[in-house]
Amino acid sequence: MEVIYIIGSLVGMSILIYGRVHFGKKGEKVYFGAGRWLYKKLPNDILRRIEDTRKLRLFEVATRDMLLQKERERMVGLIGVTVCIFTLFQGVGVMVMLKEIAKKPARNIYLERDDYDGEERSYPLFVTLQGEQADSFKLSVSARTYSGKELDKLFEESFQRAWKQILGDNKTYAGIERPITILQELPDSPVKVNLWWEEDNYINEEGELLVDAFEDGTRMQLYLELSYQGERRQQQMPIILKKPVYTKKELLLHKVKDKLSSLEQQDTTKETVVLPSALYGASITAEEEKQPMLLFLLAGIVIPVFLWLKNWQDEQEQKAVRARQLKEDYPKLLYKMVLYLGAGITMKGCFEAINREWGEAQRRESLDGAAPAKRMPRYLQMEVYALVQQLNMGVPELACYEEWGKQLNESQYLKLTNMIIKNLSKGSAKLLSTMKQERSLALREHREQVKKRGEEASTKLLFPMLLLLLTAMLIVLIPAFFQFV
């Protein structure tokens, strides 16, 4: 294998260097020269298949020479990259081989053990005789064990941790007033724990003090045994039991527990035990109280309702904006129509001229830097554009204007479309004068709307002004109040 890596890397380097020197071009990548040289060495049958212009013409539109030149350059680059990658990996193999050779003088194999109290690991090993693999097997490596000093340190630290946890809520072993912790294992430690005491009538199996069984100041011994790796060590701790001073809540809790225990022992022959749901003012349940599900039910109903209301509110606001814009733009539309009709332009020509003028104004705004996404859409401009497109598609004018008025669905525009339809169907010489009167009326209504919106805006400002006044009054009155007090 080592010989293959060496020969492959030498051959690849030779091809790259020879191709670069004899067939390479200035400014191109190194591997193009080797690809060009090997491309010329390909058999004629393969070259004819590669340079089949009928096949190349299916993928690109160009002349025959351009297609051949492009395909040759593509194949040259592909061959050169192949040689480069092959040489690269052969070189990596040689480097790995040299690294292994550099390690061999040590003639040592290093197998890692698992950490203390870990699991046994299995490593595959291979035996080679005279350059050929003779056998392979797996060697089991046991976990790491502690030395003598390390084991002493482990037991010492474990005893300190164990006695600290056994103490529980008590402050010292010279005054045990609260339950002790019955320790069965040490977290994150391989050491096994065994705790016991001889006076069973003083402390029960759960570590709780049997207060009625001992006098204040009673002495006893706790025994702690730790074991690991077949070695056992023991320590004992003298303790002094004291009568605990319970709070009212703790006394009530002990009283409830004692009463329930006595009720449970009254008649052990029955299949069920009947306990009261309330005792000494405390409620008793057989299951842990859960969060009320009614809250989640209400949330699942109320939140979707609010979402629908918000959607409805947005629609209403959008409709209000559309109606306001149509009323604002109505006088502008009438002004343009009166201007173009007075110049002798037809009704269809009026709408085309208005659409063209508004479109040019919008393009100028875009060129001036106004972002289309942030600009409020003008609904009348879009409706006029749609009307012009429909007229240019050959739809009858009367039908277009009638449908346009229904689409806008505003009284002013319905009135305007009725005038236009009447003029086109029956003919009327008074259309221009009627338009002028309508324009004057629309301008008057527009001024009234602007005045009304101004009054509404001033009314909306009253609440923030009241808040500012209230804040100023609090700033003055609160320090004066505290000073008086």
pLDDT (tens digit, 9 = 90+) per residue, 91-111? 877 787 777 666 655 456 666
Residue 117: band (very low, low, confident or very high) from pLDDT cuts 50, 70, 90: low
Residue 328: band (very low, low, confident or very high) from pLDDT cuts 50, 70, 90: confident
CB 20 within 8 A of CB 33: yes
**Residue range 176-213, pLDDT digits in tens:** 888 888 888 888 788 889 888 877 678 888 888 887 78
Q: Give the model's pLDDT for residue 405.
A: 85
Q: Give the model's pLDDT for residue 53.
A: 67
**Residue range 447-480, pLDDT digits in tens:** 887 788 777 777 878 888 888 888 888 888 888 8
Full-model pTM: 0.38
Same domain, 185 and 74: no
Say if residue 372's pLDDT is above 50.
no
Does any domain span residue 361? yes
Same domain, 408 and 433: yes
Does any domain span residue 341? yes
Same domain, 430 and 443: yes
Same domain, 135 and 154: no
Does any domain span residue 263? no
Q: Give the model's pLDDT for residue 371.
A: 47
- 3 state DSSP class of 309: helix
Same domain, 93 and 21: yes
Q: Give the model's pLDDT for residue 376.
A: 57
Say if residue 276's pLDDT is above 60.
yes
450 vs 275: CA distance, rounded Å: 78
Residue 60: band (very low, low, confident or very high) from pLDDT cuts 50, 70, 90: very low
189 vs 349: CA distance, rounded Å: 94
Residue 62: band (very low, low, confident or very high) from pLDDT cuts 50, 70, 90: very low
More confident residue, 415 or 253: 415
Q: Give the model's pLDDT for residue 293.
A: 47
Total structural domains in the chain? 4
Q: What range defines the domain where residue 131 resides?
A: 117-144
Same domain, 366 and 458: yes
Average pLDDT of the residues in 73-98: 81
Does any domain span residue 338? yes
Structure-token match 């129509």, residue found: 337
Does any domain span residue 61? yes
Does any domain span residue 284? no
Same domain, 135 and 158: no
Say if residue 387's pLDDT is above 50.
yes
More confident residue, 128 or 48: 48
Same domain, 92 and 200: no
Does any domain span residue 298? no
Say if residue 229's pLDDT is above 70.
yes
Which of 115-129, 301-315, 316-330 has the lowest average pLDDT? 115-129
Same domain, 420 and 336: yes
> What CATH number is associated with residue 159?
2.60.40
**Burial, 384: exposed, middle or buried (Cβ in 10 Å; 0-12, 13-18, 19+)?**
buried
Same domain, 90 and 126: no
Same domain, 97 and 158: no
More confident residue, 290 or 256: 256
**Residue range 133-178, pLDDT digits in tens:** 656 767 676 666 777 788 888 888 889 999 998 988 888 888 888 8
305 vs 322: CA distance, rounded Å: 26
Average pLDDT value over all residues in the chain: 78
Residue 485: band (very low, low, confident or very high) from pLDDT cuts 50, 70, 90: low
Q: Give the model's pLDDT for residue 100.
A: 67
Say if residue 129's pLDDT is above 80.
no
Average pLDDT of the residues in 435-457: 81
Residue 127: band (very low, low, confident or very high) from pLDDT cuts 50, 70, 90: low
- 3 state DSSP class of 141: strand
Residue 58: band (very low, low, confident or very high) from pLDDT cuts 50, 70, 90: very low
Q: Give the model's pLDDT for residue 380.
A: 85
Q: Give the model's pLDDT for residue 368.
A: 65
Name every residue whose Cβ is closer than 8 Å to that of residue 136 and which is 6 or more positions away in sequence.
124, 125, 126, 127
More confident residue, 243 or 237: 237
Does any domain span residue 331? yes
Phi, psi of 155 (to 5 degrees): -65, -40
Consecutive H or E run containing 195: strand 192-197
Q: Give the model's pLDDT for residue 44.
A: 86
**Burial, 354: exposed, middle or buried (Cβ in 10 Å; 0-12, 13-18, 19+)?**
buried
Same domain, 140 and 158: no
Phi, psi of 233 (to 5 degrees): -140, 145
